[in-house]
Amino acid sequence: MANVSRIIRPEPILFVLWANELIQFVWSPPVLQTAAGWLMIVFVVLSLPRIRRGTVYLCVPLAVLTAGLTLNFDQAAGVMRGFQDAAVFMAFFGSIVLLRTLADRRPEISRARDLFTSLRTEQINGAFLVGAHVIGSILVIGVMAILAPVLKHDADALIRRRAAEVSQRGMCLAPLWSPFWIASAFATQQLPGVPAWEIMSLGLAMAAIGMVLAHIMYARDVGLSDLWRALLGFAPIVPTVALCAALITGLSAVAGLSTLKALIATIPFLAVLTLIAASMATLRAVTTETWRGSSRISDEIIVVTAALVLGRVSQVAIGEIGIGETVAALTIPTWGVIASVIFIVTLASLVGIHQLVSMIVVLVIVVPLDTGVNDTILMEAALIGWAFASMIGLTAVSTATASAMFGVPRIQLIFGPNLAFAAVFGALSVLLLSLVNSLFFAA
């Protein structure tokens, strides 16, 4: 098997599926949808010898549970639909890899990196909070590779821990609005009717409140002038982020595409515009880096696929068992529904359940119910839960990355100030989202 995996690689399938999804935006015959499902199965099989041990530990229980539900409820068709659902995420990950490759070559990113070298020690935490959020909205966990080297090599354990915590705090508020996070893509898959402009506008407002709260809770010794200076330092990046967000939102509104599909269509278009006047050397470099990047995302794709297949099978199982009716009979108030979505996803992450799994189970149960919570509010609640799970989750990739990059034990990042921040901001989010729901979305 190992010898075969060295010869037959899964990367070409990613690019075939990427092209297949782009074609389906304008022409979607059943044969292309069927082919996407089978190609996803082939991709998973070819990727198995390459995935990390932690991914195996996470996915084996999901696969066993899926198999049990499939046999019990005769859901072989649901399994195939799950693989077809996962195909669109191949295109999403391909777009994100391409975006990161292009971003690494943008002068705005280099200028942002240079900003930190000129800051005083007391300014760094404020700058890390803002920088992790702004850069992390595009590069996701790749922002850690920019921030961690800024610290001096002889920085003590306390300085490194605070820098890691504040970076996690800023970066993990980005999925509240950024379409470049898998969280937004995953939630959109479950709630496709939510307009991109609504979730991004609401998410930006919630993220801004979270940033202010984080500053008040942990950086009151950093003056507003210092924080403003940090914000100005990231000014070159803001237009790029705003342009990408505006194009995705506009395409979603005009073409009627979900946020996920609008992103998939927009990023290659921007890449062509960026590279149209580039040299052959740059084109070769971008192509090579995109290919290499595609070989490093098999784990994420397999986890997403396992969760989506489980979700498809669970939809039927939950209906047959009657869990939805049981929850509906409880007559939970709207604030209780919002709180449940946020804190179930968060608490599940503290016992090692990945947010992909907890989010899909929660949404599968809640979405069909008449809870009085608008889908936009429901999606934002799920994204906040995802943000907290990324910030303090035992199995979160972002927690593991911050731990490795800053040299801080993961357990300290989980059971530390960010846990208190999640509790306070979570309670505030329930209040604010309930208020927005009653003011703007009440029937």
Query: What are the DSSP calls for 154-200, one per residue?
Result: T--HHHHHHHHHHHHHHHTTGGGT-TTSHHHHHHHHH-TTS-HHHHH
Q: Report the predicted TM-score, pTM, of the whole model to 2 decimal places.
A: 0.82
pLDDT at position 328: 66
Place of tokens 């049990």: 68
- Please give the angle made by the CA atoms of 197, 20 and 14, to the nearest 5 degrees: 95
The pair of structure tokens assigned to 349 is 């992450």
pLDDT at position 1: 47
* Candidate from 12-21, 162-171, 282-291, 339-348 with smallest mean pLDDT: 282-291
pLDDT above 70 coverage of the chain, percent: 89
Q: What is the pLDDT of residues 153-198, one digit of tens each?
A: 667 788 888 888 999 999 999 999 998 888 988 888 888 889 888 9
pLDDT at position 154: 64
Q: pLDDT at residue 409 above 50? A: yes
Total domain count for the chain?
1
Separation CA 433–CA 381 (nearest Å): 8
Separation CA 343–CA 51 (nearest Å): 30
Q: What is the pLDDT of residues 55-96, one digit of tens each?
A: 888 889 889 999 999 998 888 888 999 999 888 888 888 888
Average confidence score pLDDT of the chain: 84
Distance of CA 195 to the CA centre of its chain: 18
Domain span including residue 155: 2-440
Q: pLDDT at residue 5 above 60? A: no
